[in-house]
Structure 1
Amino acid sequence: MTASPLPDSQLRGFVALLPSAVRPYALLARFDRPIGWWLLYWPCAFGLALGGGAVSHWPLFLWMLLGAIAMRGAGCVYNDIVDRNLDAKVARTASRPVASGAVSVRNALLWTLLLSLVGLAVLLQLPRAAQIVALGSLALVAAYPFMKRITWWPQAWLGLVFSWGALVGWIAVGGGDGLGLPLLYAGCIAWVIGYDTIYALQDIEDDALVGVKSSARAMGDHVRGGVAVCYAMALACWGGALWAVRPDPLVLVALVPAALHLTGQVVTLDPANGADALAKFRSNRFAGLLIFAAMLVVGSAP
């Protein structure tokens, strides 16, 4: 049996200081859980850094961070609207504002629109080619909440969505042609599948009861090995991306800290402990920093 999962919506940090009428909307956008926008942001930063724009386009790091916060919030609100009936049946998500009735569907839609307008302001800061690529993600985002009803691998679809920023960042700074960009994107997808499989371990029993599919359920007793394969694929693709930018064996050394961190996640993972799964998932914020450091060093080298 897995340990009881932590409630998804928690009044902590600055959210607890907000007026009571505002708090449900902050919780709806997951402002109490910054890990989500960090994980959405890191691929953007990877693309900017490895594409060679760390210095020449440094304001984009800040703009894309704002965009990650706003669009992750909008995505969460949209997801909660679609999943409100399922969320009400799962212990971890039953307290979400829409599922619990604290926020109406109408007001949630208006909140989604407001957050999307912030995303639009960020979009306008990008070059035209990057704008077009960014808009291409909307269909993937719209389809994501339905994937858990269709496929055992909704985490793979999330990988397509959460890794999209790598494409936008690279194109925004005029990164070079070749295999660097597709390998960077593929590595991010594999990373997302790995860490979101860990995240899904929290809900594995409730998901089975309500019929929700996930890679954690698909992997079953082999989840640790499955995550290891995902992380190994991510590191191999990122190594290939670094090599494509600078074909020198030394560039692979830059990934060693990230490789050690991801290996540590797998080795110490306790699939039956929801609290441990959440802690391992959240540690990918630091993993992203280590990967970004590797992209920055190689992408900025003369």
Structure 2
Amino acid sequence: MTALHPPDSQLRGLIALLPSAARPYALLARFDRPIGWWLLYWPCAWALALGGGAISHWPLFGWMLLGAIAMRGAGCVYNDIVDRDLDARVARTASRPVASGAVSVRGALLWAALLSLVGLLVLLQLPRAAQIVALASLFLVAGYPFMKRITWWPQAWLGLVFSWGALVGWVAVGGSAGLALPLLYAGCIAWVIGYDTIYALQDIEDDMLIGVKSSARAMGSHVRGGVAVCYVAALACWGGALWMVRPDPLVFVALLPAALHLTGQLVTLDPANGADALAKFRSNRFAGLLVFAAMLVVGMAP
């Protein structure tokens, strides 16, 4: 295990303070890696803000954050059960609890069920229409772990999954009809493809050996340009969504900080350095905050 390929599961921070029996389950749900639930949460928060619900529906920010934590955890457990054989053959993921045998498949299934109950509690806080939209995502979630086996673009499928919260949030606050929501959702998908391609750079060599497909492998030496296309598409779609809510040139200025941040990721990215790829991937938590600021300002404008 080299410094360029840090292990996916690590006993650090609050995880190290848990009882030893609980630690593998916390790692299984990736509680040691909050970046995942931040990335799942941001599209939810963007939709709440841009849809005009920042004040009228403010409790949903907390509920959807809880839902993102729980359902990201449940999704990781499910993914690790499906991928346990592949994970055991990749240096970065070999220490994952199911792949390493620290947690049994039965124990993992029970843990996923418990996390899903938390997700159900959050679901019950949503309006009926938003509940239906949220449940419709389960098909996409169920299919994701298999995508890396059948397509070079599993990141696109992940984009559909991780962006779904934008649809739920928009419907929950009664966002207006029109192109704003489709553009917001499309921008989220492009963003996810971009940042998850960067994430996949860590595993290119192992993926080649075991036959796992990814957009990072598909882009090859053009990965920086490919991610740039994704980020430009994301910014263009988000700008269009903002314009649909408030047709004023100043809305594009609101996205400028996020654009500069994403540009900085690309300019400094070292595709051959797994640690750098992980750092750039994690920096999208801050990118999400910058986009949220733009959505909030425009969504609250009179």
Common topology (TM > 0.5): yes
1:146 partner letter: F
1:82 partner letter: V
CA shift at 1:147, angstroms?
0.1
Contact 1:88–1:94 (Cα < 8 Å) also in 2 = yes
Report the equivalent of 1:169.
169
Counterpart-to-counterpart distance in 2, 1:70 and 1:33: 13
Report the equivalent of 1:301.
301
Report the equivalent of 2:157.
157
Report the equivalent of 2:255.
255
User: TM-score by structure 2 length?
Assistant: 0.99
The gaps in structure 1 that reach 5 residues or longer are none
1:178 partner letter: G
Alignment of 1:8-19 (within 5 A): 8-19=8-19
Q: Percent identity?
A: 89
1:128-181 per-position Cα deviation (integer Å, ceiling 9, x unaligned) = 000000000000000000000010000000000000000000110000010000
2:201 partner letter: L
Counterpart-to-counterpart distance in 2, 1:25 and 1:289: 29
CA shift at 1:3, angstroms?
6.4
User: TM-score by structure 1 length?
Assistant: 0.99
1:267 partner letter: V
1:263-292 per-position Cα deviation (integer Å, ceiling 9, x unaligned) = 000111000000000000000000000000
2:278 partner letter: L
Counterpart-to-counterpart distance in 2, 1:49 and 1:4: 38
Q: Structure 1 residue 57 and structure 2 residue 47: aligned?
A: no
Alignment of 1:216-227 (within 5 A): 216-227=216-227
Report the equivalent of 2:271.
271
Report the equivalent of 2:287.
287
CA shift at 1:115, angstroms?
0.1
2:146 partner letter: F
Counterpart-to-counterpart distance in 2, 1:212 and 1:166: 29
Matched position secondary structure for 1:248? coil
2:67 partner letter: G
Alignment of 1:43-122 (within 5 A): 43-122=43-122
Counterpart-to-counterpart distance in 2, 1:152 and 1:4: 24
Task: Report the number of matched residues.
Answer: 301
1:97-156 per-position Cα deviation (integer Å, ceiling 9, x unaligned) = 000000000000000000000000000000000000000000000000000001000000
Contact 1:3–1:272 (Cα < 8 Å) also in 2 = no
Question: Relative to 1, partners in 2 of residues 1:212 and 1:3: Cα closer, same or farther, differing over 3 Å?
Answer: farther
Output the aligned Cα RMSD.
0.7
The gaps in structure 2 that reach 5 residues or longer are none
CA shift at 1:252, angstroms?
0.7
1:276 partner letter: D
1:293 partner letter: A
The runs of at least 4 aligned residues of structure 1 exceeding 3 Å deviation read: none
